[in-house]
Structure 1
């Protein structure tokens, strides 16, 4: 029987509020939408100086890394706050892929005192290195892992173009391979979401052999899935931040936009739509915070919390972005307004780290309930 002590903490601590303020101040100071749009269109959306300030200046890259390895020794709750703010600004940064997924996978490998894993984690925590797990962005925590035989092309690897190190699953374990090494090819693809570039990665046999083996095959599988589960759980916080910005921007616009000498936001039909969206965003916040807290406390219910968050938050983010575009009228359809960036990020995030449907199926299995459309007893 559960008790109050088992209840998740959905509130933000003072430390988390301070971290949010610091990240938001940094992103607001660099919130040059025209420049961001130009970078996105050029195919090189990353702001290297911004990443350095976020990763090393604020120390956000090392939140999940223990202090003994040079990190902040914080938890998934703090990392979730950073992702909320990155989602609010649809910031092109490899935080989810490097500071969350790759970092968690490395932590699950076992660090030792001075081994290769510990050294790589230290470099990630300092912001000197960016590591990306070489799997398609769509790979969910329970999905089959991709064919990573030497020379096989791994498509749709997010942020590989910005990575210094690839974590590659070999037949006998997990390897760290430098992207600049001979035999490693990172070829850009054309993504829907211009703020999260995708690449096709190829690592030949010589490059894999020359890489550093971090874990054996059994440990590697468990570590990769730990990274993907954590990524899926904290992606919900990014989706929450995106939905919050879309709602707030829509409310602001409908207050200022007038028709028939009245703010369009005063029209009953629009008020109902925004009220419904507000309810969805509040519920998404509860789901995202529950997932972050479950991961932070290493709760046995973490897979369930992650499945709930992803089954719900992805749909809310897409709905919020769609409403933002539509309720902005003509301006919402233009390239100059950032609404399209939010819609594209929401749509791509909806299928990242497992689709909404796959998480619903996982949720049904964990709760022993039949999935929609499935057989009945």
Structure 2
């Protein structure tokens, strides 16, 4: 597959890189991650009102720009490169795809327009650790006017700050991938309790969300009741692809930081970048990074086809393979580049004043966020062998 950015995509890449270099440098990241909400609301407002990043993938009829997932992946790569502290990933990679794939026009009209205007959103689905249908533990009990939701969700990305929660819940007594529904619930609805969790990666906030007799009407369903697992499964795969693009950006930045440092660090009268052993290590990192980038961009194209309402619906069968491949390569490339960055920075590599530790924490946390490389290898093997996990 030959892939190259067109002129419009290059403009998006260049403008994002310039903007983030100014507003998300090392000092800005450290300031934002220390804030109670984990990001600067004023910066998020600029991102929404001046750059329209949350509206990028939303169709024009809902107030968006009508671009695709490839353009979003360009932004995600740059946000990962600059460790942007903002609810961009949760809003654009979890909530927005769920709404785009929904079959309820009323929910789409209400919330896609709100997101295009700067509202924040996320997806909450797992009551136990994991990404499978059995991990949906919250219960949606039918009532006369709708549903009563009870349960909890673990490790919800930006869950304590989002204005919209898309929550998964199953009908009483259902098991596996049957009986699962998705609801669009305002985060300030009565009965919702949100707790910010301490995390290894301080640049990305996670939360535990509890639902206690939360009332949701049938109009808040994204799909037919009990039929939401195929949509939820694909949304998680699309989000994994977006995460791979972000990880690729982080890996590139750690490699760049390393190359800059070894070019300045002198030992035995010359820069350590001139040592053959150092050159070999950097060449290996570059090779691993390029494999990750290729896998991430191919997967982004597959995700774009899946989200295209006029596209081939059969592409859903390719989504798991593309997402697993991208996550395997991107997770491992990011972690390896970050770990090697700390090593090649020597004694200062792990200190708070230098940035490699921030990327190392992001790399380690991200590889568990939407499935570890081991999990995706298992999924990929099952897909290729025609087996069911």
| TM-score, normalised relative to structure 1 | 0.89
Check if 1:39 corresponds to 2:49: no
Give distance in 2, aligned partners of 1:100 and 1:246. Answer: 23
- Residue range with higher mean Cα deviation, 205-214 or 171-180: 205-214
CA contact (8 A) 1:165 1:177 kept: yes
CA contact (8 A) 1:62 1:124 kept: yes
Q: Cα deviation per residue 1:297-356 (whole Å; 9 max; x = unaligned)?
A: 233422211111112211111001101111111222111212111111111111111221
CA contact (8 A) 1:257 1:263 kept: yes
CA contact (8 A) 1:161 1:186 kept: yes
CA contact (8 A) 2:128 2:154 kept: no
Aligned-pair distance for 1:57? 1.6
SS of equivalent to 1:61: coil
Q: Cα deviation per residue 1:17-75 (whole Å; 9 max; x = unaligned)?
A: 11011111211111342342243245532111222222332111122211111111111
RMSD between aligned residues: 2.3
CA contact (8 A) 1:138 1:353 kept: no
Give distance in 1, aligned partners of 2:127 and 2:13. Answer: 26
CA contact (8 A) 1:9 1:290 kept: no
Between the two proteins, the alignment pairs up a number of residues equal to 361
Check if 1:160 corresponds to 2:144: no
CA contact (8 A) 2:104 2:222 kept: no
369, 378, 382: which is aligned to 1:352? Answer: 369
- Residue range with higher mean Cα deviation, 91-100 or 130-139: 130-139
Check if 1:326 corresponds to 2:343: yes
Where structure 2 has 5 or more consecutive residues not aligned to the other structure, the ranges are 140-148, 172-180, 307-314
SS of equivalent to 2:240: helix
- Residue range with higher mean Cα deviation, 133-142 or 292-301: 133-142
- Residue range with higher mean Cα deviation, 81-90 or 150-159: 150-159
Q: 1:337 to 1:351 in 2, by over 3 A?
A: same
What residue number does 1:3 align with?
Answer: none
Give distance in 2, aligned partners of 1:139 and 1:215. Answer: 24
CA contact (8 A) 1:85 1:241 kept: yes
Where structure 1 has 5 or more consecutive residues not aligned to the other structure, the ranges are 1-7, 371-377
What residue number does 2:122 align with?
Answer: 132
Give distance in 1, aligned partners of 2:248 and 2:231. Answer: 26
What residue number does 1:60 align with?
Answer: 53
Check if 1:148 corresponds to 2:165: no
Q: 1:329 to 1:153 in 2, by over 3 A?
A: same
Q: Cα deviation per residue 1:216-252 (whole Å; 9 max; x = unaligned)?
A: 3344222222211110112110110000001111001
Equivalence map 1:330-341=2 (5 Å): 330-341=347-358
271, 276, 294: which is aligned to 1:268? Answer: 276
Structure 1 runs of 4+ aligned residues shifted over 4 Å read 136-143, 207-211
Q: Which has the higher contact order (CA 8 A, sep 6+)?
A: 1
What residue number does 1:82 align with?
Answer: 75
CA contact (8 A) 1:51 1:93 kept: yes
CA contact (8 A) 2:192 2:214 kept: no
What residue number does 2:199 align with?
Answer: 191
SS of equivalent to 2:222: strand
- Residue range with higher mean Cα deviation, 212-221 or 178-187: 212-221
Equivalence map 1:6-45=2 (5 Å): 8-45=1-38
279, 285, 288: which is aligned to 1:277? Answer: 285
Aligned-pair distance for 1:207? 4.3
- Residue range with higher mean Cα deviation, 286-295 or 219-228: 219-228
What residue number does 2:230 align with?
Answer: 222
CA contact (8 A) 1:108 1:222 kept: no
What residue number does 2:190 align with?
Answer: 182
Give distance in 1, aligned partners of 2:361 and 2:382. Answer: 30
SS of equivalent to 2:155: strand
CA contact (8 A) 1:63 1:72 kept: yes
115, 120, 131: which is aligned to 2:111? Answer: 120
- Residue range with higher mean Cα deviation, 139-148 or 63-72: 139-148
Q: 1:176 to 1:64 in 2, by over 3 A?
A: same
CA contact (8 A) 2:90 2:123 kept: yes
Give distance in 1, aligned partners of 2:135 and 2:64. Answer: 29
What residue number does 1:200 align with?
Answer: 208
CA contact (8 A) 1:109 1:219 kept: no
